[in-house]
Amino acid sequence: MAQEAATAGIENTDIAAHAGGEIASADLVWDQLRIEAADLANRERLLRPLLREQIITAPVGADMLAGVLAARLSVAGMGSADLLDLFREVLTRNPEIIVGTEADLVAVRTRDPACTTYLHAFLNLKGFHALQTHRIAHALWVEGRVEMASWLSNLASLVFGPDIHPAASLGSGIMLDHGSGIVIGETAVIEDEVSILQNVTLGGTGKETGDRHPKIRRGVMIGAGAKILGNIEIGAFSKVAAGSVVVKPVPAHCTVAGVPAAVVRIHRADEIPAETMDQNI
């Protein structure tokens, strides 16, 4: 154990002093957590203080669990200056994020009747904030910094509400209206100019692995409480009615509704549900 910790770049005493000598089989998982935390602390400077306090120096597993939960629920553990530096670094390397942010601002300002200024969206709308945090987390994921990306994604979910996996691919001009209760899975794809209301799930259908989440094409609107499950496509410029459960592909230019969802209307070619935000079926 001490040898592995040293390889990770953390002083042997950080782990050995809290491992209690010989490890009983019931404690192996906690010992492994310390080793993994030491390795991650060596790779991610910003996470190092959190990992030391909550895991590496925690005497027993109960202290680890209590420390992690307390920190998450109090949204504490990393200074704003460190986060500011991290965000600036990512945005400098990925200028396309700002382009996406600009399109998202326009989307919210033009689609949400409660949003009367760009400033209101920028300062006060948690769906917008969650989406921009995801853009940064996704860039970290693509760079291979998956633990940092996951930590940031989890923090955004705690603070803003939407639970968006950092690997999910999102386009620009997207509006997450209200944001509360939105879940977007790992292999989900959302193209440009999409509007998603509260309590929407883009999820899987079970324990399958690989590409298992929905693909939402351009111009789609997904109504409140809709559930779209599995690796299925929602065709461009279609609408999913509130409360629907979609388990089969949806053609372009139509409205689906019901449990399970079925096509109830075909649209005109010039209709863009994401922009009109018309909730009527």
Enter the tokens of residue 123.
């300062």
Q: What is the pTM of this model?
A: 0.81
Q: Which domains does the chain have, with CATH numbers?
A: 2-73 (no CATH), 78-162 (1.10.3130.10), 185-281 (2.160.10.10)
Q: How confident is the model at residue 192 (pLDDT cuts 50, 70, 90)?
A: very high
Examine the pLDDT at 15 and tell me if it is beyond 80: no
Examine the pLDDT at 198 and tell me if it is beyond 90: yes
Examine the pLDDT at 53 and tell me if it is beyond 50: yes
Note the pLDDT tens digit of each residue in 118-161. Answer: 888 888 899 999 999 999 999 999 999 999 999 999 999 988 89
Enter the tokens of residue 267.
């649209």
User: Do the beta carbons of residue 216 and residue 234 sit within 8 Å?
Assistant: yes
Enter the tokens of residue 265.
């209307």
User: Do the beta carbons of residue 133 and residue 53 sit within 8 Å?
Assistant: no
Note the pLDDT tens digit of each residue in 206-239. Answer: 888 999 999 999 999 999 999 999 999 999 999 9
Least confidently predicted of 33-42, 197-206, 243-252: 33-42
How far is 112 from 104, CA to CA, in rounded Å?
Answer: 12
Provide the β-strand partners of residue 250.
234
Examine the pLDDT at 62 and tell me if it is beyond 90: no
